[in-house]
Amino acid sequence: MSDPDRRPDASDESGDTSDTAHEASPSDALGGALAGAARRAGLDPTGGDATRDVVWRAMGGWRGILESVLPSLTFLVVYTLTGELLPALLLSVGIAGAFTVARLVMRSPVQAALGGLVATGGAALLALWTGRAEDNFVLGFITNGLYGGGLLVSSLVGYSLIGLAIGFLMGEGTAWRRDRRKRRVFFWLGIAWAALFAARLAVQLPLYAVGDVTALGTAKLAMGLPLFAPMVAVTWLAVRALYPRRGE
């Protein structure tokens, strides 16, 4: 396991072998992509926004909340009341599609809604193929596993995905790795986010195993935005402590 407090070795400090020596390194490409995604979501630590505004933007405002919650909530309510899989899936996918069309008509950014439509549609196709309502949640398990695993491994090897995103947002690339305090904070932020995704799997997989669709859908909603928002707030506050604005 990598120690977040370890002293940088010679390769960290040498001008010839530093993290920023290779312009086209994989960490640079990944960090730039993560920073771009964060910036598009309005998560720019260089601004003077209040924490509540940052969290609100990260969730996409009221529209983003509805796009995230309503398809899953519709599936849960319809299936629980009727016990019929096809109507529940059709209504869920239809609502996700309606959000995407609405964004296209209003010429607003469509990436989030389109991603939700693809995820909802893919999950629905899997559930229709197997005939098992609980399989509507399988893609979510895979996503949580990939996110959690990526965050965990990146933190353990010393290249926290959180650190890569923030480093490129702040214009320092991977230079944060030479700062013990930043390495430690980004390490624990990555572990905390990985724990969030692991907790979702720990609660939801047993419900999937016993086929309790109502409890599974409820757990998915309860462990979605209600846990995501506080984690964004904690991350934001930690990053602002590392990069105080001028004059503070």
If the chain, 248 residues long, is cut into consecutive pieces of 10 residues, what is the mean pLDDT of each piece?
47 42 60 64 60 78 87 95 94 91 78 80 93 95 96 94 89 89 95 97 97 95 93 90 66
Whether the CB-CB separation of 88 and 79 falls below 8 Å is answered with yes
According to the model, what pLDDT value does residue 67 have? Answer: 87
Concatenated DSSP letters for the chain? Answer: ---TTPPP-HHHH-TTTSTTS-TT-HHHHHHHHHHHHHHHTT--TTS---HHHHHHHHTTHHHHHHHHHHHHHHHHHHHHHH--HHHHHHHHHHHHHHHHHHHHHHT---HHHHHHHHHHHHHHHHHHHHT-GGGGGHHHHHHHHHHHHHHHHHHHTT--HHHHHHHHHTT-TTGGGG-HHHHHHHHHHHHHHHHHHHHHHHHHHHHHHHT-HHHHHHHHHHTSHHHHHHHHHHHHHHHHHHSPPTT-
pLDDT at 243: 85
Distances (CA, A) of 2 to 23, 192, 195, 198, 238: 25, 16, 17, 20, 21
Q: What pLDDT sits at residue 13?
A: 41
Would you state the structure tokens that stand for residue 85, as one six-digit string? Answer: 């899989």
Rounded to a whole number of angstroms, the CA Rg of the chain reads: 20
Give me the pLDDT at residue 227, please. Answer: 93
pTM of the model: 0.81
pLDDT for position 71: 93
Q: pLDDT at position 247, please?
A: 37
pLDDT at 116: 80
Provide the pLDDT for residue 248.
Answer: 43
pLDDT at residue number 111: 73
